[in-house]
Amino acid sequence: MERLQKIIATSGYCSRRKAEELILAGKVKVNGEIVRELGTKASYEDVIFVEGKSISKKEDKVYYLFNKPRGVVTTSHDNLGRKTVLDFLPEDERIYPVGRLDYDTTGVLLVTNDGELTNLLTHPKNHVEKTYIVKVEGILLKQDLEKLCKGVVIDGKKTSRAKAKIKKIDKKTNTTLLELKIYEGRNHQVKKMLEAIGYPVKKLKREKFSFLTTQGLLSGEYRTLSIKEVKKLYQEAKQESSNH
């Protein structure tokens, strides 16, 4: 017997945190009965419906590293008919993105059906490092760079410490290119951090997610992660969790 949210996540339907939300919202049935208790246990032999859909038994886990292009949304489907990241990936698999990248942000994105790993990588306490290359309007001052590193207030809450360094200053175009490493995954975080100190973002790319980069992948291309890479992601997320 396993916790119900773990079974749902293991089936590939969604992440464990999302499964918990669905249980609390009364959208999960086990053997015909609605379940709202998070501690409920079930087995893989039980008949489980989530949002009216039957979830299958354990699926083989798949892990993709995707080089997200601009103008693509990081959702499973889009009501406005825009391209989603799943339009670029195998159609016959029930997979979802790990976290989000904005519509106009490019770079490293993980896509999987492993709810356990998704939960580890996106949980705020686990401090997984994400590296961005950011082009901003204006010539970034040293004292503003220090503000980014110490944390700035966005949406009423201070961001955790970050690492930032200037890569290039272009006085002709009045822009600065910088590298920013953050350990959280708040909504539109990088853009909001830079806007908070007066530098609107013109271009944004996620260069690294933990140790993974888009090396060898053109925009819109993907590759399967190796078993070694998956183990390393689990190891790093758990290690970061124990360090904080």
Q: What is the pLDDT of residues 31-75, one digit of tens each?
A: 999 999 998 999 878 899 999 988 866 668 899 999 999 999 998
pTM for this model (two decimals)? 0.77
Question: What are the start and end residues of each CATH 3.30.70.580 domain in the chain?
Answer: 63-124+211-243
C-alpha to C-alpha distance for 240 and 244, rounded to whole angstroms: 6
For residue 102, indicate whether it is catalytic. Answer: yes
For 63-124+211-243, CATH gives 3.30.70.580
Question: What are the start and end residues of each CATH 3.10.290.10 domain in the chain?
Answer: 2-54
Nearest to 135 by CA among 188, 175, 82, 76: 175
For 2-54, CATH gives 3.10.290.10
Nearest to 161 by CA among 235, 244, 239, 98: 244
- Can you give the pLDDT at residue 240? 58
Write the pLDDT tens digit of every residue in 147-161.
999 999 999 999 998
Active-site residue, selected from the candidate residues 46, 78, 102, 104 = 102
pLDDT band at 21 (very low <50, low <70, confident <90, very high): very high
Q: What is the mean pLDDT of the chain?
A: 91
Whose structure tokens read 């590293």?
65
> Which long-range contacts (C-beta less than 8 Å, at least 24 apart) are formed by 53-56?
53/13, 55/7, 55/8, 55/11, 55/13, 56/11, 56/12
pLDDT band at 108 (very low <50, low <70, confident <90, very high): very high
C-alpha to C-alpha distance for 122 and 35, rounded to whole angstroms: 25
Candidate CATH numbers 3.30.70.1560, 3.40.50.10130, 3.40.50.740, 3.40.50.620; the one for domain 129-209? 3.30.70.1560
- Can you give the pLDDT at residue 1? 84
**Exposure class string for 177-195: b at 16+ Cβ within 10 A, else e:** bbebbbbebeeebbbbbbe
